[in-house]
């Protein structure tokens, strides 16, 4: 027991460093995926067929490729085209692009779920499409898309472990390095699992609270 406590004290600072990198990657890739996803969602609902086709093709391709393949391509293949990125940058971009397809479908579903009467009312008072999107449709669409939007954040937190395959020293990678050098597999990976739960469970709790509040408001409307 005393030996296990000593190991925990020894490994914890290193794993905390990895956890900080995990949080950074999750936040940055989540923001990137949100921006790309919103652009693709707007193209998907465009009245221009060519733009819809471009967005649909992008979404299908990205969703059809494993995330780890996208990470490998960005980190190992792009340097052949004189595009060199650090492992951290590749991880952020890879996760951001991979999840942008799911973000796009989430935002598209939110936009299409807005009451058509809202669109008609906005058009009736002379709003053009960009203004109508910004002031009428997108605020309502975001409320509709919020629960799955938050779930994507939790999924990205867990899938950030995949960037360990391109040597990013995040939580999982640090755990692998410690376990390899100390052979304390049970202690190390138990600590890693607990730290992921500490990071993800509060997010899940907050998302459940937000979803419950939105349901309550909808019931009162």
DSSP 46-57: -S-HHHHHHHHH
Question: 114-131 b/e with 16+ CB inside 10 Å = b?
Answer: beeeebeebeeeebeeee
- CA nearest to 161, candidates 8, 70, 25, 10: 25
pTM for the whole structure: 0.89
Q: Cα–Cα distance between 178 and 128 in angstroms, integer?
A: 58
Structural tokens at position 169: 């020293």
Mean pLDDT value across residues 207-214: 80
Q: Cα–Cα distance between 211 and 154 in angstroms, integer?
A: 15
Mean pLDDT value across residues 91-116: 92
Over residues 61-101, the pLDDT tens digits come to: 999 999 999 999 999 999 999 999 999 999 999 999 999 99
User: In this model, does residue 51 exceed pLDDT 60?
Assistant: yes
- CA nearest to 106, candidates 130, 142, 58: 142
Confidence of residue 220 (pLDDT cuts 50, 70, 90): low
User: In this model, does residue 52 exceed pLDDT 90?
Assistant: yes
Over residues 153-166, the pLDDT tens digits come to: 999 999 999 999 99
Choose which CATH entry (1.10.3720.10, 1.10.760.10, 1.20.1420.20, 3.20.20.70) describes domain 2-220: 1.10.3720.10
| Domain residue spans of the chain | 2-220
Q: Cα–Cα distance between 194 and 188 in angstroms, integer?
A: 10
pLDDT the model gives residue 217: 67
How many CA atoms does the CB half-sphere of 5 hold within 13 Å?
2
pLDDT the model gives residue 199: 94
How many CA atoms does the CB half-sphere of 162 hold within 13 Å?
24
């Amino acid at each position: 027991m005393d030996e296990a406590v000593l190991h925990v004290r020894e490994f914890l600072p290193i794993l905390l460093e990895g956890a900080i990198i995990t949080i950074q990657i999750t936040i940055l890739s989540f923001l990137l995926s949100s921006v790309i996803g919103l652009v693709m969602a707007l193209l998907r609902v465009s009245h221009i067929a060519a733009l819809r086709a471009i967005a649909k093709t992008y979404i299908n391709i990205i969703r059809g490729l494993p995330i780890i393949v996208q990470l490998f391509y960005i980190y190992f293949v792009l340097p052949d085209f004189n595009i060199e990125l650090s492992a951290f940058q590749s991880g952020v971009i890879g996760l951001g692009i991979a999840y942008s397809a799911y973000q796009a479908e989430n935002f598209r579903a939110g936009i299409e779920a807005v009451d058509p009467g809202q669109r008609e009312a906005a058009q009736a008072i002379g709003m053009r499409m960009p203004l109508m999107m910004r002031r009428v449709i997108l605020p309502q669409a975001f409320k509709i898309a919020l629960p799955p939007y938050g779930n994507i954040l939790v999924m990205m937190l867990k899938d950030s472990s995949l960037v360990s395959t391109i040597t990013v020293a995040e939580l999982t990678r640090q755990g692998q390095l410690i376990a390899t050098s100390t052979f304390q597999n049970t202690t190390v990976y138990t600590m890693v699992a607990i730290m992921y739960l500490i990071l993800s469970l509060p997010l899940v709790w907050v998302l459940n609270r937000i979803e419950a509040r939105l349901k309550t408001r909808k019931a009162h409307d």
